[in-house]
Amino acid sequence: MQGILGLELTRKMEALFTRGIVISLLLMFAFPQLTHYLVDKYAHKQHYSICSDVTYRWLLYSKFYYTESKIACDKLVNEKEITKSSSRR
C-alpha cells in the first residue's frame, strides 16, 4: 500500500504484516521437517523403510523412497540405473 498507493500503514496493519512474515518464515523451514518426520513415523508403522541407495539430496531438497523390503529396494535401484543409462546421464 505504501509503495503503490502512497498510503501510510496503520499500526494494526504493520503488526499484522510483521506477524505474517515471521510466521511464514518459520513455516517455510519447519513444515518440511515436520512433514518428513510424520511421514517417516507412519511409514515405519506400516513396516516400510527408507531405501537409502536411491535417496536423493541436494542442499535443502531431499527425495526419499520407502520400500517394504531389501528386495524391493534392490529392484528400485536397478530400475533407476536402467533409467539413467537409457537417458545417457
Question: Residue written as cell 503503490?
Answer: 4
On whether the pTM is more than 0.85, the answer is: no
- State pLDDT tens for residues 7-21: 787 889 889 989 999
Higher per-residue pLDDT: 79 or 3: 79
The whole-chain average pLDDT of the chain stands at: 85
- State pLDDT tens for residues 45-60: 999 999 888 888 888 7
Q: pLDDT tier at 85 (50, 70, 90 boundaries)?
A: low
pLDDT at residue 53, rounded to an integer: 86
- State the average pLDDT over residues 58-68: 86
d(CA 79, CA 89): 14
Domain ranges, ordered by start, for the chain: 47-89
79: which residues sit within 8 A by CB, 6+ positions away? none
